[in-house]
Structure 1
């Protein structure tokens, strides 16, 4: 009898576990089994100081909406009435636009313009929703906005053999600065870990390396494993014969911008000459045939 009871309990436990596994699938497989309305926003966004940034917020649902969702975008780092992004409070007036102005759209993303250091922090997308079955609010998982300034990558003013990289960023331990030479990471000779100054809303990261030889040096800013921005410095060692140093060029690039390559002018005279060669040969053959017939 005890064996039978234990067997039934064991069977019941297995059914319970399987039931928990199956339960999420029933939401999608059985119409009307459960309402599913979720709000999605990315956990982290990065943008350059003074640039515009899109802050995504999208609704996913399986119910009929009776009225258009009412959107609330909030800046959580500052808990005041002036922290509303949408409908914009006085602080954000003229700086925030909806990407889709259609009230019935489920894309509730916004465009935050001219991002400043004070905009760094956490944001929340929240919606008031009325469906056929219920009236409720849904919110996303918060988005952390992180800001970085223009990167400086050049020779130091006091030492021409030292290459220095610096960038201001929002305070976060995930930001890392690295310098590479022709694809190989270099050991830095001087660096600043990014200690925060109380009066400033950012920290300064800096790295310096000794110039080994000519070639392409690249300074990269990463947030965890993601490349945020980079700057390229082309170094040409002094030419001993000419007595003059070739110009060294530093170029700061976004991760979406390809490095520009200086090209040479098109050799149009060569093209024309190549075209004239078969034409001249053809004319010579035609002239020879005409002379033979005559």
Structure 2
């Protein structure tokens, strides 16, 4: 009976030992990982330049035998037409390395003059040769490039009591447009994502509100909770006699107005000045008169 118990115990311990050895082996393997890091989403304004990040992470116990070979592709496919680096004809003169050192771990690229057609997913790949793992290819996670255009925020052409905000963005429901008045968000009269046109690579977001009070109106474009761009509109109603034209009572400022405080000007108190001067003079005359009387 004791032999059976001992035999069963030895089998369990042997299995446990193998499991622990497997875990230790896996953990030791993670210490020598080579990985590629890409951000999940990046955004930029239409026509601007944007950095497409890609970083090679190498553990301290790995050693590169030769410089890594970089490949950047549109995720639509690894075809030559979708190749950013080395740039295909489609991306000629629009793509450059951020760090031109061959042994650097920074494999980010600069995409110039971003177009609507550049919206999409990108993948960074590297061909790496190390002393432990020899030659292999490794890739990062995809990066989604999202584009937005210049925001237009102004009075509507058909109604001077309405203010409208519009902006074109990459088609993605995470883009949200909002208007606030003195940090308060009034109810919008219109809220639209534009008509879906299959040939267009973007969609128009728009919001319109009533100009009920003077103050600071601000239109903001967010991607999730991150502010992408904003535009500010200052509105006030000066006191003007009614001339029959309601638009004459509208005054718009495109920058922060500096209002000087009201200053009340009082007249100079000359009577008080005279009284203050007469008091010491009268005292001096009285003293001189008393001294003369004492001598006499």
TM-score by length of 1: 0.75
Alignment-derived partner of residue 110 in structure 1: 109
Output the CA distance in 1 between the equivalents of 2:152 and 2:218: 11
Q: 1:19 to 1:91 in 2, by over 3 A?
A: same
Output the CA distance in 1 between the equivalents of 2:154 and 2:139: 45
Q: 1:78 to 1:238 in 2, by over 3 A?
A: farther
Q: 1:10 to 1:69 in 2, by over 3 A?
A: same
Q: 1:200 to 1:249 in 2, by over 3 A?
A: farther
RMSD: 3.1
Is 2:87 aligned against 1:83?
no
Would the aligned equivalents of 1:99 and 1:111 in 2 still touch at CA under 8 Å? yes
Select the residue among 9, 17, 40 that pairs with 2:37.
40
Q: Residue 35 of structure 1 aligns to a residue in which SS?
A: coil
Post-superposition offset of 1:240: 3.0
Post-superposition offset of 1:262: 5.9
Select the residue among 52, 56, 69 that pairs with 1:55.
52
Post-superposition offset of 1:81: 1.8
Post-superposition offset of 1:10: 11
Output the CA distance in 2 between the equivalents of 1:24 and 1:176: 44
The structure number with the bigger radius of gyration is 2
Would the aligned equivalents of 1:171 and 1:196 in 2 still touch at CA under 8 Å? no
Q: 1:263 to 1:212 in 2, by over 3 A?
A: closer
Post-superposition offset of 1:194: 3.7
Alignment-derived partner of residue 147 in structure 2: 147
Output the CA distance in 2 between the equivalents of 1:16 and 1:181: 63
Alignment-derived partner of residue 180 in structure 2: 180
TM-score by length of 2: 0.75
Q: 1:131 to 1:49 in 2, by over 3 A?
A: same
Alignment-derived partner of residue 230 in structure 2: 230
